[in-house]
Amino acid sequence: MNGAQSLLRTLVDAGVDVCFTNPGTSEMHFVAALDGVPELRGVLGLAEGVVTGAADGYARIAGTPAATLLHLGPGLGNGLANLHNARRACTPIVNVVGDHATYHKAYDAPLESDIEAVAGSLNGWVRRSEHPADVGADAAAAVAAAMDTPGRIATLILPADVSWGESGVAVDPVPPRTPRATPDATLDAVAEVLRSGEPAALLIGGGACRERGLLATSRIANATGARTLVETFPARLERGTGLPAIDRLGYLAEQAAYQLDGVKHLILAGARSPATFFAYPDKPSDLVPEGAQVHTLADREHDVAAALEAVAERVAADAKPTLSPARPPAVPSGELTPQNWVEVIGALLPEGAIIADEANTSGLLLPAATANSPRHDILTLTGGAIGQGMPVATGAAIAAPGRPVINLEADGSAMYTLSALWTQARENLDVTTVILNNNAYAILRMEMQRVGADLSGPTAKSLLDLSSPEMDFVKMSEGMGVPATRATTCEELAEQFARAVAEPGPHLIDAAVPPLL
């Protein structure tokens, strides 16, 4: 058994059964070893951002890590944006990054780089295997590190000669750490705050955004009058019929300030203390209302749902949660607008759907339109690095082959990782992509106004305009093997969306939605 074979066998024994890959010469022994370990599914991405984003989407749904196989430092660097999003989502991922053979590094070959420095920027676990006999143990440690609560990115650097060298040994899995329990004293203190009668808000994130946490949060709110909010960009949020509909904290500072106005106590459960996404002239960065106290019930290393349930038993023992009724919107009619396209999705969303949401400004009204749709999961842009939606949808579809995946994608963001469509076609994944095509970087138009920059000049305007030339997503999609259509009205979008969801395999709809701004 060589080092690569021991790596694959150890990964499979630890529960890793998918590897998203864009390999190079230094990883060829890993690729060759895949034929001897059929339990590990290899999925090819044409760009590293697709590989890393797909691993993120897979793990958000599966709850267990996928592996990535990346080519030296430049390959890791190419995948860094979606690894940044995964880091913010606390997604467990095991990166395997090939490197030059140990004796070759002294020659400073063109692809030589400081892989540890690049991987270190992810604030995760990093190790370099030094000998074929070490690889199995290093791989087991990497999986355990990735699975440590709340989840993180583990990067194992595998030199080529360590990969091809003999004396590899497969190693049994290493149990990850279990989530910490919130101390009783903290539970009691938060319960006392909620009983005080002073205005309080409960901001939830991480594991609290699943059914258990949502139900407990709603019970607490109904018993105490506390406001409830979900973090702005949750990694995975369960929504729809039969679950509490809890609003997300607004992206715009003005929205968040309105939602938190008058709050004297802000209780955090799996969420960070809120701050604006960017600095704005003459505006505060901290969104906590002046004079309000911040209380941490549970951070992401805790069992957040259990902490919320324990508080609910203290302050809301007899309270019931408020559940969303089955009342999706009606299908609208007429030309597509930023206001009505979301109603088409809300009206026709299938049961058990997974939404990969990178609609950006076009999707501001999506939460309201889908609150009473059939139960579904939504995966959001956790780290703000665009180009996530298509890869995340790809990984989610592999993690849950029996569930329809809906990718709501802004046109500018789509171009970052468009080749994910090729992987969807190759793997015959059940992904329906809806491109929100407004021919603009509308989010940047909004941000330029908010920072006080002058938009009137022709150069500034041209840099935020995507209409010259117009992008033909139907042709681009068909060129990668994904059938595509174009919709300009609600009726066309409804007919095309319903058909795409009903048919197996990937589909794309180019929806002509004008910009919100």
The pLDDT tens digits for 115-162 are 999 999 999 999 999 999 999 999 999 999 999 999 999 999 999 999
Q: Are 445 and 472 in contact (CB under 8 A)?
A: no
Write the CA distances from 321 to 138, 139, 213, 231, 244, integer angstroms. Answer: 45, 43, 11, 20, 7
Q: Given pLDDT bands bounded at 50, 70 and 90, which one contains residue 440?
A: confident
pLDDT at residue 449 in the model: 65
Contact 472, 436 (CB under 8 A): no
pLDDT over 70 (residue 452): no
Quick one: tokens of 181?
Answer: 């329990």
pLDDT of residue 443: 67
pLDDT, mean of residues 465-484:
92
Out of 301-315, 338-352, 397-411, 447-461, which region has the weakest mean confidence (pLDDT)? 447-461
Question: Could you tell me which residue, 366 or 453, shows the higher pLDDT?
Answer: 366
- In angstroms, rounded to a whole number, what is the distance separating the alpha carbons of residues 260 and 328? 28
In the chain, the largest separation of any two C-alpha atoms, in whole Å, equals 71
From the number of C-beta atoms within 10 Å of its C-beta (0-12, 13-18, 19+), residue 345 rates as: buried
Helix, strand, coil share of the chain (percent; to 5): 40, 20, 40
Contact in structure between 347 and 328 (CB atoms under 8 Å) = yes
Which residue in 466, 484, 464 sits closest to 475, CA to CA? 484
pTM, two decimals, is 0.95
Residue 63: which pLDDT band, with cuts at 50, 70 and 90? very high
Q: Is the peptide bond before 199 cis (omega within 30 degrees of 0)?
A: no
Q: Which range (58-62, 121-125, 451-455) has the least confidence?
A: 451-455
Q: What is the pLDDT of residue 439?
A: 83
Distance CA 462, CA 485 (A): 28
Residue 447 scores a pLDDT above 80: no
The closest alpha carbon to 406, from 425, 369, 441, 433, belongs to 433
> Is a pLDDT exceeding 90 seen at residue 178?
no
| pLDDT for res 283 | 85
DSSP 8-state assignment for residue 509: E
Q: Is the pLDDT of residue 76 over 80?
A: yes
Does residue 448 register a pLDDT over 80? no
Residue 380, phi-psi category: left (phi > 0), alpha (psi -120 to 50), beta (remainder): beta
| Confidence (pLDDT) at 386 | 96
* The one-letter amino acid at 160: A
Among the listed ranges 85-94, 99-108, 444-453, which one has the minimum average pLDDT value?
444-453
Instruction: Report the b/e string of 197-231 with b at 16+ CB within 10 A.
Output: eebbbbbbbbbbbbebbbbbbbbbbbbbebbbbbb
Provide mean pLDDT across the span 253-277: 95
Q: Where are the beta strands (DSSP E) in 222-381?
A: 227-230, 237-239, 265-269, 293-298, 353-358, 376-379
**Average pLDDT for residues 404-432, to the nearest whole number?**
97
Does the pLDDT at position 256 exceed 80?
yes
Is the pLDDT reported for residue 451 higher than 80? Answer: no
Could you report how far apart the first and last alpha carbons of the chain are, in Å? Answer: 60
Q: What is the pLDDT of residues 222-243, one digit of tens each?
A: 999 999 999 999 999 999 999 9
Torsion of CA 9, 12, 17, 19, to 10 degrees: -40
| Cα 331 to Cα 343: distance, rounded to the nearest angstrom | 6
Q: Using one digit for the tens of pLDDT, what is the confidence trace for 319-364?
A: 999 999 999 999 999 999 999 999 999 999 999 999 999 999 889 9
Edge to edge, the sheet with strand 431-437 lists: 237-239, 376-379, 353-358, 405-410, 431-437, 507-512, 484-487
* pLDDT of 294: 98
| 10: amino acid identity, one letter | T
| pLDDT greater than 90 at residue 176 | no
Give the pLDDT confidence score for residue 446 in this predicted structure: 67
- Supply the pLDDT for residue 458: 81
pLDDT at 27 over 90: yes
Question: 496 and 485 in contact (C-beta within 8 Å)?
Answer: yes
Q: Is the pLDDT of residue 71 over 70?
A: yes
Q: Region 18-35: what's the mean pLDDT?
A: 94
Token output for 70: 């990346």
